[in-house]
Amino acid sequence: MLSGAAYGDAMLTQRSLVDEPGARCVVDYSLAKRAALHSLKAGRLRPEEACDAQIYLRRAARYHGLPTGETCPVCNAEDLTLVLYAFGDDFPNGGNGRARARKELRELATVLPEFTVFAVEVCLGCGWNYLVASYVLGTGESVSRRRSRSSSQA
Ligand SMILES: [Zn+2]
């Protein structure tokens, strides 16, 4: 369980994620992110290591990203964008691990049993990127069905 207020402004984005109806197994990486930013400022982490958003991530941020209204903590020039990647056994071929719009995730959550969403914040200016949260969405229904299907292997 998240107790968001303790993390201050860094939680705004994550809180809106956790408000996602039906989100389960929420993991909050804001402390790790703070540590990374601290290392960066202290010179223990090089900017080219922290700000290494690849072309696919940048593209996903441009086309599927959610605006956060938060300024990048590294360059202080651009607003951060959140990219939501969805992983699960129930996606059709090629659909696993794709960046998806939030609306699409909400629709999928009503039809698919279970998938995990990884939220990555990206700065299109300097390339800063960090996994800030993960959570599970889905109807949760077929877990027992799946179990009974694979029970012969147990
Ligand atoms: Zn930046």
pLDDT at 12: 44
- The reported pTM is 0.80
Distance between Cα 7 and ligand 1 center (Å): 21
pLDDT single digits (tens) 105-125: 999 999 999 999 999 999 999
- Largest Cα–Cα separation, the chain: 56
Distance between Cα 110 and ligand 1 center (Å): 35
Distance between Cα 55 and ligand 1 center (Å): 15
pLDDT single digits (tens) 22-73: 888 989 898 999 999 999 999 999 999 999 999 999 999 999 889 999 999 9
